Amino acid sequence: MTQLREIAHSRTGDKGDHSNISVIAHDPADYPFLQEHLTAELVAAHFAPVLHGGVERYEVEALGALNFVLRHALGGGVTLSLALDAHGKCLASAMLAITLPDRAPAGP
């Protein structure tokens, strides 16, 4: 199994009660693997304990990145949440803990 942090890095942002998490491949050659395996459904299952809405995935191929919008994942947003991380910055680290299947070895 491959942990996401082995092949990508992540950044987060927030708008109200919604978190925006970008996952960027370290190597552009890994982007198709991320497109195939890092689905909105997988992200929704991973964040199920804090997610109270849906997950949307956007592809940014020119950057080798996927962008996920997690709806209602920040406990009401910065001004309402009692969470220690009301902006959801730690969600980037939590995203990188997702486990993906092993990548196929490179061909000859």
Q: Identify residue 3 by its one-letter amino acid code.
A: Q
In a domain, 107, yes or no: no
- Enumerate the β-bridge partners of residue 14: 19
Predicted TM-score of the model (pTM): 0.83
Question: What domain range includes position 85?
Answer: 2-99
In a domain, 105, yes or no: no
Domain count, the chain: 1
In a domain, 21, yes or no: yes
In a domain, 93, yes or no: yes
CB 35 within 8 A of CB 24: no
First to last CA, the chain: 22
Count how many Cα atoms sit within 13 Å of the Cα of residue 84 in the half-sphere of its side chain. 2
Residue showing tokens 């195939």: 36
Whether residue 22 has pLDDT greater than 90: yes
Quick: pLDDT tens for 45-59: 999 998 999 999 999
- Enumerate the β-bridge partners of residue 68: 21, 57
In a domain, 104, yes or no: no
Quick: pLDDT tens for 87-102: 456 788 888 989 999 8
CATH number of the domain encompassing residue 87:
3.30.70
